[in-house]
Amino acid sequence: MFRVLVQYAVGAVVLLSLGGCGLFRFEPRAPWRDQAERECLNSGLVKITPYVEPAKEIDGPGSCGMVRPLRVSAFADGNVTLTSRAVLACPMLPAVDKWLIETVRPAAQIYFRTEIAELRVGSYACRNQNNRWNGAKSEHSFGNALDVMAFILADGRTITIAKGWRGTRQEQEFLREVFVGSCRVFATVLGPGADPFHYDHFHLDLARHYEGRRICKPILKFDPRIDYSVKRAPMTPRPFEPSRPQPSDVEEQPEDFEGASLQQQPGSRAPMQVAGPGAGSSIGGTGSVGMQGRIETTPLPPLPPLQQQPFNQQPLPGAPGRPNPLGPVATLPPPLPSAPPPRGPLILGTPAPGAAMPPPRPPVMGGLY
């Protein structure tokens, strides 16, 4: 008997180990994620430049990954660089650009009389929420989230969330202006005070929550000074300046990002090459920079449509016109006849006969952090 129990225990440990390595997909990727990524890639909103490079598909471990990851070294046409290269899915790039142009840049001009120059960020990481060993996957697992730890201004000053959130009045108001403005763009925004895990950074993601609701924590009593009725012009594209190689991302993961190789492969795009005077520079064979500093861009090639439509066209209850990402709505069988009330002593935790049950909590779609 003891030998049988040992065999079962060993088998369970082996299965759990294999599942942790991503050999079994216990948690499938939500269909809307690939659909949203393909729609963004085919829309032409994101173009390949010296600051945005396409990478090989990341498929796993588990449900982690992206259809076509993008390695980003700068946002807003090269005007806001990154201290370390970020790996993101396509929908995050237009959202971050919009946030930088409409909120971060005006806030830097209002509070510091200068421009925003650089960000210290974290991006893709295949992990659970808050790095716990169990629970739902983080939006970082799908390249659908960005962590911002610090803002670096054009005059060299660095405003970190960890110190600036309770720093000088100027730093506090700048960070709160940026935080409140981010809630206009992203579906989830978490910062200091939301929970113990976000005391030193802003978490921004595009998760899809129940009935399209947004999560913005903590709730601040702050009056923004930015006038959002004023239309902001896009930043002028910045000439590409080759510099020292950047690390892959802020978490210093290996270049293969949990097993999906992003290095040069046979038959893939050639790496960036800086030519001599008069020849210009090229990256991936799609974007180039001439002698006058003009950035030439080429749209990403469109992806073929999915074989199956992942969205059910029937709307969610209470949300007319919105497709249901949970799949087809099945017809439920007729309810079973109610059972007679239990007799005898009550078991701890069992409601008394005839007691009203609390209403079920609505499901929350998508990870929070």
- The pLDDT value given to residue 274: 31
Domain extent, residue 131, equals 30-253+282-291
Confidence band, pLDDT 50/70/90 cuts, at residue 279: very low
- Secondary structure of 70-122 as H, E, C letters: EEEEEECCCCEEEEEEEEECCCHHHHHHHHHHHHHHHHHHHHHCCCEEEEEEE
Residue 211 is assigned to a structural domain of this protein: yes
Q: Using one digit for the tens of pLDDT, what is the confidence trace for 69-123? A: 999 999 999 999 999 999 999 999 999 999 999 999 999 999 999 999 999 999 9
How far apart CA 256 and CA 254 sit, in angstroms, is 5
- The pLDDT value given to residue 269: 33
Q: Averaged over 350-367, what is the pLDDT? A: 48
Please state, rounded to an integer, the average pLDDT across all residues of the chain.
Answer: 73
Please check the confidence at residue 277 and state whether its pLDDT lies above 60: no
Q: Using one digit for the tens of pLDDT, what is the confidence trace for 148-193? A: 999 999 999 999 999 999 999 999 999 999 999 999 999 999 999 9
Range in 52-61, 67-76, 96-105, 128-137 the model is least confident about: 128-137
Strand partners for 53:
71
Please check the confidence at residue 358 and state whether its pLDDT lies above 70: no
User: What is the reported pTM?
Assistant: 0.64
Residue 240 is assigned to a structural domain of this protein: yes
Residue 86 is assigned to a structural domain of this protein: yes
Percent of the chain at pLDDT > 90 equals 49
Q: Averaged over 308-330, what is the pLDDT? A: 44
Contacts of 353 (CB under 8 A, 6+ apart): 341, 342
Of the two residues 9 and 284, the one the predictor is more confident about is: 9
Name the DSSP letter for residue 137: B
Of the two residues 206 and 256, the one the predictor is more confident about is: 206
Residue 81 is assigned to a structural domain of this protein: yes
Closest of 98, 107, 109, 119 to residue 233, by C-alpha: 98
Residue 141 is assigned to a structural domain of this protein: yes
Confidence band, pLDDT 50/70/90 cuts, at residue 12: low
Residue 63 is assigned to a structural domain of this protein: yes
Please check the confidence at residue 236 and state whether its pLDDT lies above 60: yes
Tally of structural domains, the chain: 1
Confidence band, pLDDT 50/70/90 cuts, at residue 135: confident
Phi and psi, residue 159, nearest 5°:
-110, 105
Please check the confidence at residue 48 and state whether its pLDDT lies above 60: yes
Confidence band, pLDDT 50/70/90 cuts, at residue 241: low
- The pLDDT value given to residue 4: 58
Residue 176 is assigned to a structural domain of this protein: yes
Residue 209 is assigned to a structural domain of this protein: yes
Range in 40-49, 162-171, 251-260, 316-325 the model is least confident about: 251-260
